[in-house]
Chain A
Amino acid sequence: MSASGESGTAVSVTGASKQFAPLVALGDRIAAALGGSVERRSVRAVDDVSLEIARGETLGLVGESGCGKSTLGRLVAGILPPSAGTIRICGEPVMSQGRRPRKLTTRVQTIFQDPYASLDPRMRIGTIVAEGPVHHGLVASADAAAYAARWLAKVGLDPDAVPRYPHQFSGGQRQRIAIARALAMQPEVLVCDEPVASLDVSIQAQVLNLLLQLRRELKLTMLFISHHLGVVRHVSDRVAIMYLGRIVEIGPAETVYARPQHPYTQALLASVPQLVLDGDAPGSFRPIAGELPSPLSPPPGCHFHQRCPVALPRCSIESPQLRDAGPGQAAACHLVASR
């Protein structure tokens, strides 16, 4: 373990950006070679994001579709290389640089959204769980089955799952298998990308409880990505709100939910229907006006200014930086500074 790994920061993201260049059609490329002008628009899925997650902390990452939260998760997990900036896990870079970037560390593992797609359908459960640990020498291949059975037991599955195939399990059970696979690598950091979004309500609770219990037991650091504000509030110590590639607000979960500073956070929180238990009137909530702009051509300045009820003229020109907005809280809004 490196010295900086003991410093208390498990994840550090510095100025990370990720651009996706759309494939240029052959005809367009020929046109470009012949001197024609071809429009090349790239999507900035993650736009200059910096954040840190302390050891043992859970950071919730919330946002609507296309906001870049999954891409940021994939950068942290070492699935995608960043276009710019660095990502370190326990002080070590996640990926190698170069033409074919390679993931360097096993200290960060990922749980994916769809447990029907994330397990190899032709592999037995035991092999799925033990494949990585055997390759990385965490366990001898002779002990692989017992090792897999132990982790399966930890996620609440019977050891007789070892010789079976994924199709014999329900969605919730598959997600448990995916959790066992990730944890069998003995990571420090777990990136959970919408881990319960495709599960039924009653199964969601089971899987969330399991994650919470394993986090306590194994002292895991988590980046928990979800579009569901309630789920994120439940599991997170701190939350970060993303909008069109940028973090617009970050801070302790309790304060951000109670006193959101960014107008987008405020609008997002207000737009969620709450379960009403007092009186027979339908729940109170207020939708955000307008549509999400296309990530291909985000509005200039503050990306939210077109939908913002309190936008100033400068919001459409100058893009605001994250500023302190309370203890541990920061928001990227021009109005925050004047408060």
Chain B
Amino acid sequence: MAEASPLARFWQEFRENRVAVASLAVIVAIALVALLAPWIAPQDPYDIGKLVLADARRPPGHAGSGGYVHWLGTDAQGRDLLSAILYGLRISVQIGVAAGAIAFVLGAALGTTAAFLGGRAEMLVMRFIDLQLSFPAILLALVLAALLGQGKWQIIAALVTAQYAYFARTAHGAAAAERAKDYVEAALSTPMPARAVILRHILPNSLPPLIVVATVQIANAIALEATLSFLGLGLPVTEPSLGMLIANGFQYMLSGRYWISIYPGVALIVLIVAINLVGDQVRDQLNPRLKR
């Protein structure tokens, strides 16, 4: 009798939390529409040639000159906000996932290796990471974004540099605990080579806390990117992300044209809250101390 894999058991338990399942559905839906944005958005907001200034700052429901309704209104350049949000979400999701994944791999490799090697190498790496973590991530990201300049990959590089340390510290803690367990000793005394022990034993058993950190950090990466863009340090003006849409609409907030800032903001909040709700459930399931 083959037993359900840990992943299958995880999913069975996850399904019991309806809020988490709904949040996961929201994330999947956002991810889908974001990725499919070029095909489903009524307008390409990056194509300046298609923007009509006559349609600028129109309220939601305005029938634009392009022959379609601007359901969420338009911004100061006459961009269809719905399209801009879909494209903005696309950027947010891409940057969040890419930064999260790269930081995950980098941090996990660094932290796990440090924990396995021990001694001086471990001490140097971990002290450096402690030092880095004593600065707020936003500060580091701001400095790096200013140094590296605008662009998607520049932002990702800045976010990875700011965030890998969280993964490294978590990976180090988990791996150090696993390193001391008998099954690792058993594998080493077989003997299995160090690389196999790290990859096959220590890493898989260190994953739970890393996955929890990953959900939090993807949400953080998305928020950080929005913050950088809001401050004008993120993506170029020609490719507005959610943060920049909010920033651009900000000056019109008090003149009653709320939609330019509010709708991108709502999209951002829904995405981040959904990720965090899923993250909470994942944490509850993976943290043995919270188990009955």
List residues of A whose CB falls within 8 A of some B CB.
Answer: 77-79, 102-104, 106, 109-110, 112-114, 117-123, 131-132, 135-136, 160, 163-165, 168, 178, 181, 185
Contact = CB atoms under 8 A, between A and B. Distances in A.
A112 B186 contact: yes
Given A131-B200, A165-B6, A122 B191 contact: no
B196 A135 contact: yes
A112 B185 contact: yes
A112 B3 contact: no
Given A106-B191, A135-B196, A160-B1, A122 B186 contact: no
Given A79-B188, A106-B190, A164 B183 contact: no
Closest 8 CB pairs of A and B: A118-B182, A103-B191, A132-B190, A163-B2, A117-B182, A120-B183, A79-B189, A112-B182
B3 A118 contact: no
Given A112-B182, A163-B3, A165-B3, A121 B205 contact: yes
Contacts of A168: 3
6 contacts: A78-B189, A104-B191, A106-B191, A120-B201, A135-B193, A185-B190
Nearest to B4: A165
Contacts of B196: 135
Interface string B1-22: 1110010000000000000000
Q: Helix, strand, loop or mixed for chain A's interface?
A: loop
B187 interface: yes
Interface of B: 1-3, 6, 181-183, 185-193, 196, 200-201, 204-205
B1 to A, nearest CB: 6
A122 B189 contact: no
Contacts of A121: 183, 205
A122 to B, nearest CB: 5
A131 B187 contact: yes
B191 A102 contact: yes
B189 A110 contact: yes
A165 B185 CA distance: 19
Contacts of B189: 77-79, 103, 109-110
A313 B190 CA distance: 47
A178 B183 CA distance: 10
B159 to A, nearest CB: 30
A168 B205 CA distance: 17
Given A114-B182, A164-B3, A122 B205 contact: yes
B186 A118 contact: yes
A193 B190 CA distance: 15
Contacts of A102: 191
A189 to B, nearest CB: 12
Contacts of B200: 123, 131
Nearest to A162: B2
A110 B186 contact: yes
A290 B189 CA distance: 37
